[in-house]
Chains A and B, each alone.
Chain A
Amino acid sequence: MRRKLAALLISSALLVAAGCGDDGGGDGDGDNGAGQPTGPDQVSVGLIPIVDVAPLFLGQEQGFFAARDIELATDFGAGGANLIPGVESGQLDFGFSNVISLMLAQAGGIEIKAVSNGNNSTGTQGEDFGSLLVPVDSDVQSAADLEGATVATNTLSNIVETIVRASVRNDGGDPSTVEFVGVPFPEMEAALAGGDVDAAFAVEPFQTIIRTNEVGRSVAWSWVDAAPDLTVAAYFTSAELAENNPDLVARFSEAMAESLAYANDNPDAVRAILPTYTEISEELAAELTLPTWPPEINRASSEALAQQAVQDGLLSEPPDLDALYP
């Protein structure tokens, strides 16, 4: 409770008399008391409206969550990195984030815990839900040619830098010479077309948009280069919630595992649900390369990824995966 009190104090100090306190907080503050369930738990989940989170919506549609007394309230945060403070401050019960962000948070002293796998790469070169693209007329043929080049990434000092460096390194190039530029996904097409960047790492639906508009072509599949069957992202919660309400967390993880399995087995259902929570049209959804959704987090891939992040200087020391992962 102490953290909430401090938050209230500071925010009211900030607003002089008009502290808007906690009551205006997240829509469902999650009845995380461990008391007897008085009806389905109102659970708030912070997400980004992207392909990767399709299983959660499928699980909701298929009733996997309802079956476990969980009613989801999805909240589209402005960006992955912003979800972590939301979950840590208790405003959101669960969040979705890439594993490097989770490791960085743990290193930064944020007490959070992964509860279920998010999504993995397809594991096959030449066909993945994200790739390193260069302008069509660029003379770059493979990742090694990107030495000294500027590469667009949606978030700096994060997972995309690690995997792109992995692609360059595996291809025999020196990754330290690559210069990264922050460009939101929707603006990568314009950046490539305008020649502002030499390459851009884009995920779906932008990978398909850039390719079908003949603005760019893929030269490397960095998720696959980083580690075999790489776990890209995971659902997580705050250590406090995991401690206070293990039952809810367990139920959420089970529902999530069932949803992931269902999504993996029903790609068409995934393509059908995309237009309901994102603005991806049916036609575009049909063309996308989907990630894979194995129910279990691929811990080995996280260790390999973390080791490369340490090598690149992104992480000062290897993360404590036992504490971080379920």
Chain B
Amino acid sequence: MTKLPGWQGLQRVALVLGLPAVLVVVWWFASADSDHLVFRPLSEILVAFRETWLGPRLVEDVLPSLSRLARGYAASVVLGVGLGVLVGWSRTLRALLEPVLELLRAIPPPALIPLIGLFAGLGDSRRIVIIIAGCVWPILLNTVEGVRAVDEVLADTCRSYRVRGLTRLRQLVLRSASPQIMTGARQALAIGIILMVISELRGTVHGIGFSVEQFQTSFRYPEMWSGVLLLGLLGVALALLFRLADSWILGWYHGLRASNRER
């Protein structure tokens, strides 16, 4: 029974949108007549969403939060990959630093906030340092793993063709470690979003986390839920963005694995 291409596409769309649509409808009606102080109707939350986040706050709060996340994340990538390559490449350095890195990685970043607060002043730098304190570890440790696992035959090939220095670093070391680095980068992004929010609590800053906390403490629950919804959408959007970057940067890698699986 060959399916018509149209039918095929329709079915796929139904599968993708089916459950979410059902959940939204259930949420809409379950909360529709709720006079409950906290659990506001979905309609009210969506109105609050449009009024709160699509207005001036988009520039005043959402943008600063995202820019801090971007700066913290970028710094973590540079720091994590840079240090990771060094530590991954030299056996002694790795043995020397491994326990220290394992300890620092294990400290939950939020626990560092009271300490970072003592140094990093009150401005953006404090929040960026907090983001880095969480994001750098997955990238660093995955880079070390990736650099350690460079294929020896490829390394010998480079040596015999006298491929050295910067070309070697880029073409052999970084490229072969890139699948592992991307795994670390994905984990770091998830942690980054969390720290973006947490670094804004209990302080004064233009940001999503701060706004949501203000809504909560001033009992403006529709706005609070709309903030939660925004963070959800942000998480999804960034995950999607990451997948695009991943398929572009690791195009070769996904192809390689697909072809191995077939063979």
Contacts and interface: CB of A to CB of B under 8 A. Distances in A.
Q: Do chains A and B touch in the complex (CB under 8 A)?
A: yes
A107 B218 CA distance: 9
A184 to B, nearest CB: 6
A186 to B, nearest CB: 6
B117 A181 contact: no
Contact of B36 (A6, A155, A184): A6
A183 B219 contact: no
B36 A3 contact: yes
A67 interface: no
Interface stretch (B94-102, B118-126, B133-141, B146-154): B118-126
B187 interface: no
B114 interface: yes
A184 B126 CA distance: 14
Interface in B88-121: 114, 117-119, 121
B249 to A, nearest CB: 33
Interface in B10-51: 27, 30, 34, 36-37, 39
A108 B37 CA distance: 9
A104 interface: yes
A190 B119 contact: yes
Contact of B117 (A109, A155, A187): A187
A181 B121 CA distance: 12
Question: Is the interface on chain B under 10, 10 to 19, 20 to 34, or 35 or more residues?
Answer: 20 to 34
A184 B117 contact: yes
A110 B117 contact: no
A104 B37 contact: no
Given A6-B34, A156-B214, A182-B204, A109 B122 contact: no
Interface in B200-250: 202-204, 214, 217-220
Interface in A50-87: 79, 81
Contacts of A183: 122, 203-204
Nearest to B114: A186
Contact of A104 (B27, B34, B203, B218): B218
A105 interface: yes
Nearest to A111: B37
Nearest to A107: B219
Contacts of B214: 156-157
A104 B30 CA distance: 29
Most chain A CB inside 10 Å of its own CB: which residue of B37, B219, B220: B219
Contacts of B121: 190-191, 194, 196
Interface in A185-216: 186-187, 190-191, 194, 196-197
B122 A10 contact: no
Nearest to A314: B218
A108 B203 contact: no
A109 B119 contact: no
Contacts of B219: 104-105, 107-110
Contacts of B217: 81, 155
A262 interface: no
B122 A157 contact: no
A107 B220 CA distance: 11
Contacts of A104: 218-219
Given A104-B219, A156-B204, A182-B202, A191 B122 contact: yes
Nearest to B210: A182
A157 B119 contact: no
Most chain A CB inside 10 Å of its own CB: which residue of B27, B121, B122, B214: B122
A16 B123 CA distance: 38
Contacts of B37: 109-110
Given A108-B218, A108-B219, A109-B219, A10 B39 contact: yes
Nearest to A105: B219
Interface in A168-184: 180-184
7 contacts: A6-B39, A107-B219, A180-B204, A182-B203, A186-B114, A187-B114, A196-B121
Given A110-B219, A184-B203, 8 more contacts: A79-B202, A105-B219, A108-B219, A109-B219, A110-B37, A181-B122, A181-B204, A184-B117
Q: Which 8 A-B pairs have the closest CB atoms?
A: A108-B219, A182-B204, A187-B117, A81-B217, A196-B122, A181-B204, A190-B118, A182-B203
